[in-house]
A = this chain, B = another copy of it.
């Protein structure tokens, strides 16, 4: 991040003012230290990705970000051209998107609550967010209507999700937004979700089935062309690992990378591993523009995206 900082090497120049816009505060944060500085850098790096016409922008998402109310932020990012490829978990991102698409809402709650009572009332807790369990019933009901309309064949999760997107009516759906903007969605761990489970149930008596292994080919096909690649990691997990692991197969590396996570590198897990460490693996280019922000994505993600619109 040398270039950005030229002539601005002092902290304590960061300022605030009345009527400040989110892009302003991101610029000011870039003049500070610690994670504030890194969040400011993230906007700078994302802008570089957007200016680089040769750059494929991949967003990976894990964690209960839809439950926590980030759904519209994803949709805005997708519809505004900030995302070319989306990689997500099947549960917390895609199944929860479907739950909302089919009319069940995640509700603000608290973590100071009796979980056994919640269970008896049919309410699932995700830290301080509450979800009526019937959301999963409705996902099952609606999928049973939609699945017969899809090609009855073995297909990659990404292929399935594109077909599914066609049949989602909710304009605030991430899956639909990706379909409309022709953004492929990869979900290599779809088996580990209610969506994957429903597909398995359906496959007991039908020929439509998803095969995660086919997403490898789909992803490689996207990346055979030598291009620049940029990754925005939200939360880590399988989506981060898959992108960073598959890109080198086609001789590519990440030229830009932004990581927003609540995990830290000191415990050795992938979600907390720094983007710097990924250089040793050849997953990130030696001269890539990178920054890792340790921050709840419910704060950093809307701030970052709103500052780029």
* Complex: chain B residue closest to A28, CB-CB: B302
**A306 touching B20 in the complex, CB below 8 Å, given contacts A33-B67, A36-B298:** yes
Are A270 and B29 in contact (CB-based, < 8 A)?
Answer: no
Docked CA distance A106–B8 (Å): 11
A269-306: contact bitstring with B at CB < 8 Å (1 yes, 0 no)?
11111001111111000100000001110111011011
A268 touches B127 (CB 8 A): yes
Partner of A306, one of B16, B37, B215: B16
- Binding stretch for chain B, among A48-56, A70-78, A177-185: A70-78
A51 to chain B, nearest CB (A): 18
Which residues of chain B have C-beta atoms less than 8 A from A147's C-beta? none
Inter-subunit contact A306/B25 (CB<8 Å): yes
Partner pick for A16 among B9, B11, B115, B309, CB 8 A cutoff: B309
In the complex, the chain B residue whose C-beta lies closest to that of A279 is B115
| Interface CB pairs A-B, < 8 A, 7 | A11-B68, A16-B73, A33-B69, A125-B280, A210-B213, A264-B264, A266-B294
Q: Mark A14-25, 1 if CB is under 8 A from B, else 0.
A: 111111111011
Contact with B along A26-58 (1 / 0, CB 8 A): 001101111111010000000000000000000
Indicate if the CB atoms of B127 and A33 lie closer than 8 Å. yes
Determine whether the beta carbon of B68 is less than 8 Å from that of A268.
yes
Partner pick for A108 among B37, B210, B241, B269, CB 8 A cutoff = B37
User: Does A112 lie at the interface of the complex (its beta carbon under 8 Å from any beta carbon of B)?
Assistant: yes
Interface residues of A (CB under 8 A from B): 5, 8-22, 24-25, 28-29, 31-37, 39, 62-64, 66-73, 76, 91-92, 100, 105-108, 111-112, 115-116, 118-119, 123-129, 133, 172, 188-194, 196-197, 199-200, 203, 209-213, 215-217, 235, 237-238, 241-242, 245-246, 249, 262-273, 276-282, 286, 294-296, 298-300, 302-303, 305-306, 309
A14 with B108: CB separation less than 8 A:
no
Task: State the oligomeric state as a number of copies.
Answer: 4
Q: Are A14 and B189 in contact (CB under 8 A)?
A: no
Report chain B residues within 8 Å CB of A192.
Answer: 188-189, 238, 241-242, 245
Quick check: A296 and B200 within 8 Å, CB to CB?
no
CA A89 to CA B281, docked complex, whole Å: 19
Most B C-beta atoms less than 10 A away, residue of A31, A37, A210 = A37
Given contacts A67-B268, A188-B189, contact A302 B16 (CB under 8 A): yes
How close is A215's CB to chain B, nearest CB, in angstroms?
6
Residues of B within 8 A of A18 (CB): 309
In the assembled complex, the CB of A285 is this many whole angstroms from the nearest CB of chain B, namely 9
Docked complex Cα distance between A22 and B306 (Å): 10
**Chain B nearest CB, measured from A258 CB (Å):** 14
> Known: A9-B108, A277-B125. Is A216-B200 also a contact (CB below 8 A)?
yes
A69 touches B36 (CB 8 A): yes
